[in-house]
Chains A and B, each alone.
Chain A
Amino acid sequence: MQNTRVVVTGLGVCSPNGVGVPAFKEAIESGKSGIRFYSELEKLNFSCQIGGMPLISEAVKAKYFTPLQLRNFNAAGILYGVAAGMEAWTDAGLKIDEENCDFDSGTIFGVGTLGVDKYRESIYKVDEGNTRRLGSTSVQQTMSSGVSAYLGGMLGLGNLVTSNSSACSTGTEAILLAYERIKNGKATRMLAGSTSDGGPYVWCGFDALRILPSKYNANPTQASRPMASDASGFVPGSGAGALVLETLESAQKRGAKIYAEIIGGTSNSGGQRQEGSMTAPNSIAVKRCITDAVKDAQITAEEVDVINGHLTATSKDDLEIKNWSEALDRSGQEFPYINSLKGMTGHCLAASGSIECVASVLQLKYQFLFPNINLQQINPEILKVVSENRIPRGRMNLEFNILAKASFGFGDVNCCLIFKKI
């Protein structure tokens, strides 16, 4: 089982700047922002009145849900997750058995905050003494595993069906956990991904922390500025990303299209010790996560061609770059190419890792780098570590083999994955 190779055979995405892989690919190649102004946030006196939410058409809803499932349905995270998950499954060329469950296939579909709007609806009814009028679906729409439960039923999955949660590293972690499950011989195929609700009741806590930009309400598309000298906080986002992972053997036997191989990865925590805290990373752990992932992939640090960073557009961006540099022992001209999707999508929280992994896999498969947008002036602290030409500001073609993707989250948790061209 040690030699089981795990490949990506399907992709699905619901991103603020594109719903469905074709639209998303076009958006990231052209540097299209999905950040918009929301009058609801203005009405509610948010400092940051902008954000990223996927635009889901009624047609997309009707494609994946029955009219009955949509009755009293009010859980955006489940909608995004199902749309991304079902797209990935179909993209992988997999059929759905309506009769029997498939014990070789499962899902790990992570969440941060799920079903908040449904929860709010329920809370109002409960407080009015009207619990009996909640209807039959308020549990499934608000439980943390709601998204994996919906997907498990729609796809007839008979292996592990669960939802992980580790703040902003959730999505990357879901893919790592699914990879490990296949690698360990416990599943042949896993749908891995994550989802996050958006809107005032998810974003409020971040607004209260004063870590969101407040000066771009009139210019939303310019607000998210990873690595920029004038980065002023992350723009909140939402959505979902999904990848079908399976053994190379299974993919080849099915004659499936293969996007990329996952060759290793790791997750750890800084334990909120040293400089780490609930909200700040312990750099010792971040660096260790990266070096352990490289080791796990059985490559050398020199082999990493491209980094897709976490890079949220806060004052911590330069620290992340320093950590990458020290972990890989590479700097200046020798530093890998690096980009951040968050300039276009904002920070999609629990969904960020999976959406960004979809973008990473597309870059590997089609051998290009998407541009870092809104990056007029690179943070000088970053330029002390990395040469400017390693931070592409326009789309570029690039022949490359290895991409490292990391995500970090509240709770001082880290996750790093290594993807390889196949």
Chain B
Amino acid sequence: MNQEIYAKLTEIIKPYLPEDVDAASIAKDSHLVNDLNINSTHLVDIVLDVEDAFDITIEDDELDNMETVAASIALIEQKSENK
């Protein structure tokens, strides 16, 4: 797993965590909605933040690949390589 992407992604996710979820609970296999309890409407904000941070564009049909931290990292890696 790309540690650099992981660190950046964790910082992006942090502000969207509900107040009762600690940032330390963000793990590789965390499901953003089911495990981290992030309001699903905020997934579109996370996508925008990811796009800005990594200078990539995530298409609507790729959103399904961002459900977990690990899947998001894989998608970001793939997108960054194909830039």
Interface residues of A (CB under 8 A from B): 66-68, 71-72, 132-133, 135-137
The answer to whether B45 and A136 have CB atoms under 8 Å apart is: yes
At the interface, yes or no: B62 with Cβ under 8 Å from chain A?
no
- Can you spell out 7 A-B residue pairs with CB atoms less than 8 angstroms apart? A67-B15, A68-B15, A68-B16, A71-B45, A132-B60, A135-B44, A135-B45
Chain A residues positioned under 8 Å from B44 (CB to CB): 135-136
A67 CA to B16 CA, complexed, in Å = 9
A135 touches B15 (CB 8 A): no
Give chain B interface residues in 27-62, CB to chain A under 8 Å.
41-42, 44-45, 48, 60
- B41 — which chain A residues lie within 8 A by C-beta? 136
Kindly list chain B residues whose C-beta atoms are within 8 Å of the C-beta of A132.
60
Q: List residues of chain A with CB within 8 A of the CB of B15.
A: 67-68, 71
Tally of contacts, chain A with chain B, CB under 8 A: 18
Determine the distance from Cα of A137 to Cα of B39 in the docked complex, in whole angstroms: 12
* Chain A residues in 8 Å Cβ range of B22: none
Q: For the complex formed, measure the closest distance between the CB of A76 and the CB atoms of chain B, giving whole angstroms.
A: 21
B4 within 8 A of A: no
Q: Is the CB of A135 within 8 A of B48?
A: yes
A62 to chain B, nearest CB (A): 13
Main SS of chain B's interface residues?
helix
Using Cβ atoms and an 8 Å threshold, which residues of chain B touch A68?
A: 15-16, 42
Query: Residue on B with the closest CB to A72?
Result: B45
In the complex, what residue of chain B is closest to A132 when comparing beta carbons? B60
15 A-B pairs besides A72-B45, A135-B44 with CB distance below 8 A are: A66-B19, A67-B15, A68-B15, A68-B16, A71-B15, A71-B45, A132-B60, A133-B48, A135-B45, A135-B48, A136-B41, A136-B42, A136-B44, A136-B45, A137-B45
Nearest B residue to A66, CB-CB: B19
Distance (Å) between the CB of B20 and the closest chain A CB? 10
Q: Which residues of A contact B19 (CB under 8 A)?
A: 66
Give min CB distance, B53 to chain A, whole Å.
Answer: 14
Chain B residues contacting A67 (CB-CB under 8 Å) are: 15
Chain B residues, Cβ within 8 Å of A135: 44-45, 48
Return chain B residues, CB-CB under 8 Å to A133: 48
Which residues of chain A are within 8 angstroms of B60 by Cβ–Cβ distance?
A: 132
> Which residue in chain A gives the minimum CB-CB distance to B51?
A133
Nearest residue (CB) in A for B60 is A132
Cα distance, A17 to B80, chains bound together (Å): 52
What's the least CB distance linking A126 to chain B, in Å? Answer: 15
Chain A residues with Cβ under 8 A from B48's Cβ? 133, 135
CA distance A72 to B45 in the complex (A): 10
* Distance between Cα atoms of A136 and B45 in the complex (Å): 6
Contacts of B16 in A (CB 8 A): 68
Bound form: Cα–Cα A132–B62 in Å: 14
| A137 proximity list for chain B (CB < 8 A) | 45
Bound-state Cα–Cα, A135 to B19, Å? 21
| Chain A min CB distance to B17 (Å) | 8
Q: Could you tell me the distance between the alpha carbons of A68 and B41 in the complex, rounded to whole angstroms? A: 13
Shortest B50–chain A CB gap in Å is: 12
Q: Encode contact with A along B1-16: 1 for CB under 8 Å, 0 otherwise.
A: 0000000000000011
| Minimum Cβ distance to chain B for residue A118 (Å) | 14
B62 to chain A, nearest CB (A): 12
Query: Could you say which of A72, A132, A133, A136 has the most chain B C-beta atoms within 10 Å of its C-beta?
Result: A136
